[in-house]
Copies of this chain bind each other. A is one copy, B any other.
Amino acid sequence: MSIAYDMIRTYPADITVDRALMASAVDTLLDCAEACTSCADSCLSEDQVGSLRRCIRTNMDCADVCSTTARVLSRHTGYDANITASLLQACIQACQTCADECGRHASMHEHCRICAEACGRCTTACRELLTAIEATYR
């Protein structure tokens, strides 16, 4: 059981979205942010850093967006579905783009392969949560 699940389990008021689904999305976002921060740094140390500029930059954007999304999803007091939904859409965009970019270097760099997979899992988790959230206000 992750710390995100343990914390959401003990949140003292109501949450409109399923707690296990929300905690799982937070875990996946934190993993993706960590993978992207590390992958940017690994790319920076590669001999061919000149051909990894776009990868480094996309990694940095994806790390920042995933960290912020994880924070917003960890707050339930005064919840606003519109902020959460629009941020999840931005996060899906960042994760997809980063999965594609890291995927291009996956056969050469093990760190890009692992990061592309983390971004792929995060795209899926954000999409599932977005679907669940949209279902609550339609």
Q: Which residues of A contact B (CB under 8 A)?
A: 3-4, 6-8, 10-13, 26, 30-31, 34-35, 37-39, 41-42, 44-46, 49-50, 53-58, 60-61, 63-65, 67-68, 70-72, 74-80, 82-83, 86-87, 89-90, 93-94, 97, 109-111, 114-115, 118
CB pair A74 B41 closer than 8 Å = yes
- Quote the shortest CB–CB distance from A91 to chain B (angstroms): 8
CB pair B83 A45 closer than 8 Å = no
Q: List 7 A-B contacts (CB under 8 A).
A: A38-B74, A45-B76, A49-B49, A50-B50, A63-B71, A65-B83, A87-B93
- Quick one: closest B residue to A11, CB to CB? B42
Contacts of A93 in B (CB 8 A): 82-83, 86-87
The CA-CA distance from A67 to B68 in the complex, in Å, is 9
Q: Is the interface of A mostly helix, strand, loop or mixed?
A: helix
- Quick one: closest B residue to A41, CB to CB? B75
- Contact flag A86-B90 (CB < 8 Å), given A31-B3, A60-B75: yes
Contacts of A118 in B (CB 8 A): 3
- Quote the shortest CB–CB distance from A117 to chain B (angstroms): 10
